[in-house]
Amino acid sequence: MKDLNQVYFDLLLSKNNSKDQDSKSITLHQPEQNIHSNIICIPIASMEDLKNITIQKYEELSVSISSKLKEFTFTIVKMQAGLGSSVKRLDLIKEVEKRTNLGAKGTDLYFDIHGSLKAIAEIQLMQAKALSEKNIFKHIQYKNLVNEETETAVLNSVKNIELSEKLSLGKTYLQKKMPTINTEGELTTERMAPAGHGFVGVAEIVETFLNDVTSEVVAIGNGEDLSSSPDVKIINWVVENDIPIVMITTTKTSADKKGGQISIVKGEIDHVTIVEKAQAQTSGQLEYFEELGLRANDNESLFNTNIVVINKKALKEIFKQFVADETLENFLNNFAPDVIQNKKEQDGRTFTQLESALGSVVLNLDKYFRLNFNTPIVSFLNLNPNDRKSFFMPIKKREDYEEIKKSHKVDEQTYRLVPTK
C-alpha cells in the first residue's frame, strides 16, 4: 500500500475533479417561505424525518458502567496537526520556553498545575494516565496527529510523562504537506500544505478495514481542547449498544450561528449531511440558516464538536458483513470525503489547498452504508448547554484561552477542566 497521505490526497483530488464536487449548490427546506427542498435541517425535521437517525441525549445516559469495558482498549487521539496561527501566543512561548516558533496550540498554551505551567498536550496525556489508574478499561492508548511543523513540539511535550502497564503511547500519525492548485488549475509544489483533519478519520477507518480488530474504542478530538475526551459514560453507551461511530454534538446557541447544520437529505433512502454557512449564503438563505435552532418552535440544532468516537469492534463487524470482498481502493472511493477548497495567498499569488473535515469522512461513510445496505453506522450524542463545557471548549482565538483560564482550572485528580468557584 502506498503512503496513506498520498492515498488520502488522491481521494480529495479525485473528488475535487468529479461532477459530485461541482454540484455543491444547495437549497434548504424553508416551508414558511414556500421554499421546498429535500435538505431538511434537524431543527425543522419531523418525527418521521428523524425515525432512522439515532440522537441520544447525554443527560439520559446510564450512570451504571458495564464490566464489558474491561475487555476494551480505549485509544485517545488528539489532533495537533495545525499551527493555529490565529491564536496569538508568541509571548507565551517566549515566556515559558524561550522559543520563537509556533508548535501546535496544544503545545504552546499552558495551565497551572501544582504551581508550574504544563502544556495542554502534556495535560491531555496526564488525563489519560489518571483514567488508566481507575482500572476501568483493559488498556489506554494515547496517540497524536501531527504534521512536519508540529511534530517536534508535540513529542517533546509528552516525553516526560511516566507511562504504566495500563497506559502506552500509540503510533504518531504524521500528516505530510501535499501539493496545492495554482490559478491555472494545475497541481503545484510551489505551495505545500496539510490537507485537513479528515486525514485522521480516513487513517482510523483504513486501519479497521485492513486489520483484524480486537476490542478497541477510539476517541478523536481537538488537541488544544482539554475537554475533548469523552467520559466513561459515553464510551459505555457506545460499547453496550455496539454502535460503530458516534459524532458528539452540542445544542446550538447564539454563539454558534456560523457553524454547520446537521441535516437530513430526503430520498428513497435518507442520509445525513452537514450544511455549511457558505452553502446557505450561496442559496440566499444565510439569515434563515443562522437562526435555525434558535427560534421558539424549532427542535434543537446539533452543533458539531469535532469529537468522533469509533467502536472498531462494531465497525469491523459491519465491514465483514457488507464489504469483505472489496479492495481498499474501491472501498475508499465509495465514501471519499467532501472537499474544502481553502484559498491562500503566497508571494502575491493564489493557491487552493484541498482539505476535508473529520465530520465529512464519517458522514460520507454512513451515507454509503445507508444507501447501499440500508444500514446506518453513525449515531449522534448531544450535549445540552449545561453539559457543553465538560466536553467542548475549543480555543479559536487568544481571547478564548484567556477566558477559559479565568473561568476554569485543572482538577488535580482527573486533570480535566472544572469551573473555578
Predicted confidence band at 161 (pLDDT cuts at 50, 70, 90)? confident
In a domain, 180, yes or no: yes
In a domain, 24, yes or no: yes
How far apart CA 409 and CA 111 sit, in angstroms, is 8
- What average pLDDT does the structure give for the chain? 92
**What is the model's pLDDT at position 205?**
96
In a domain, 186, yes or no: yes
282-297 pLDDT, tens per residue? Answer: 889 999 999 999 999 9
How far apart CA 382 and CA 66 sit, in angstroms, is 21
In a domain, 107, yes or no: no
Closest CA to 273 of 260, 283, 258, 285: 260
Q: Is the pLDDT of residue 213 over 80?
A: no
Residue 2 identity:
K
99-158 pLDDT, tens per residue? Answer: 888 999 999 999 999 888 999 999 999 999 999 999 999 999 999 999 999 999 999 888
In a domain, 387, yes or no: yes
328-372 pLDDT, tens per residue? Answer: 999 999 998 899 888 899 989 999 999 999 999 999 999 999 999
How far apart CA 312 and CA 242 sit, in angstroms, is 10
In a domain, 102, yes or no: no
In a domain, 100, yes or no: no
Give the three cell numbers for residue 146. 501531527
- Structural domain span for residue 331: 4-82+142-392
Residues in Cβ contact with 217 at an 8 Å cutoff, skipping those fewer than 6 apart? 72, 73, 74, 75, 235, 238, 239, 309, 310, 311, 312, 313
241-262 pLDDT, tens per residue? Answer: 999 999 999 999 998 988 888 9
In a domain, 42, yes or no: yes
Instruction: Give the CATH number, domain containing residue 161.
Output: 3.90.550.10
Mean pLDDT for the stretch of residues 74-79: 96
Reported pTM:
0.94
Predicted confidence band at 278 (pLDDT cuts at 50, 70, 90)? confident
Predicted confidence band at 314 (pLDDT cuts at 50, 70, 90)? very high
210 touches 327 (CB < 8 A): no
- Look at the chain and report how many structural domains it folds into: 1
**What is the model's pLDDT at position 34?**
93
